[in-house]
Structure 1
Amino acid sequence: MIPKSVIVTGASRGIGKAIAIEFAKAGYNVAINCHSNASLLDAVKLQVESHGVCCISYVGNIGEEEHATRLCASALEAFGHIDVLINNAGISHIGLLSDLSLAEWNSIVTTNLTSVFLCSRSVIPSMVHQKSGRIVNISSVWGISGASCEVAYSATKGGINSFTKALAKELAPSNIQVNAVACGAIDTQMNQFLSKEDKEELEAEIPSGRFGKVEDVAEFVYAIATGNTYLTGQIIPFDGAWL
């Protein structure tokens, strides 16, 4: 039996790392990517390979066409097919919109949204050819409701949500499902700027009483990527009933 395969972007740490390991545990060959931290990505590669699967890694800004194309082409060449794409790469920026430079805006849009377009475009032809495939985009509850002092981040996640719904309609006739997970407060490095007091206050607002764990997200993403094929075009909040 030919092993299935998955591409996970932004996989050097946090949610992306947990997702890569979750799929490896299930026997998937895995292609992982990060923007620049090769040593961290190498460590993830070793963890993935410890589950007896093949892993390739690629370091580069996949918000740029050259790097996104190379990542996906390398995975297709190594594995022969791509079953799942997880668009996870993302950065945040905290601050007033009036203080945000154009360079900062462009960086967030490129990393969070353009990368989703480029990687999706790269894998779609092979998925259409095999008449199957899954694309799962990692979004945020701020893409649904918006967040003060995170306007650019919210805008990119809102863009991902609309992208997901539109692409799902486009690809449904080819038996390719496209969904997004809108994460709430997840215990990652992205939230390490919070003080202990701020974190406790935020946890008190979440009915489930805690931040989500990266392993929680990974298990949920795997379930979506391997579940019923009638689920497509959905933006699924994963926030412990927070919002």
Structure 2
Amino acid sequence: MKILVPVKRVIDYNVKVRVKSDGTGVDIANVKMSMNPFDEIALEEAMRLKEAGKATEIVAVSAGVTQCQETLRTGMAIGADRGVLIETTAELEPLAVAKLLKALADREQPQLIILGKQAIDDDSNQTGQMLGALLGWPQATFASKVVLEDGKVTVTREVDGGLETLSLSLPAIVTTDLRLNEPRYVTLPNIMKAKKKPLETIKPEDLGVDVTPRLKTLKVAEPAKRSAGVMVPDVATLVSKLRTEAKVI
């Protein structure tokens, strides 16, 4: 069984994000980039399914600039068998990514697509759902447990009221939550092995997909700075300030 795992190149989660002075976007010049953490979880889950004998091949796919090859090499060091880069300099929106993945899924014919529930740069949380709609496949989002057996995938997902368990017929789409697993560390031997694994580069035009942006960003601004806290001598003063200054009671 083949598993397709989309991975996204994002600003590393340890980096303090800076907005460009002209407000046109986020400054990524000389900034450390890495794989989206939710996608690391998706790739780790695919690896565990393969190690359990449930899958035979894992294909990592990324869409974006040439530097996304580094992200794919990291994915192959984690354990993906090969990588596919859909190279484009266009600013990709969730719908465009979903269309690219749909076209690639039509070509690769995977039985399962596992992807992170969202990317930490735009937090859209849309690509998995859009891909499910385009493919017409069943989907389970925010997975905290995945069990694959008897041609079905059983997914436990976190909802407001507790846990929900879904059984999906294959092929299917699963998006991962933080508590699904703990991604493994990439070892030096696996990094060296990843350099020899096949990495295919294609263009959106090869898949017949138009990735022209449909949205226009008018302005990007940093959140307003929070004011410093105030120490109060007693509860009466606190209540008074909440009533007269904060006006929350």
Q: TM-score range by the shorter chain?
A: 0.3 to 0.5
TM-score of the aligned structures, taking structure 1 as reference length: 0.39
Larger radius of gyration: 2
Higher helix proportion (structure 1 or 2): 1
* Higher fraction of strand: 2
Between the two structures, name the one with larger relative contact order (CA 8 Å, sep ≥ 6): 2
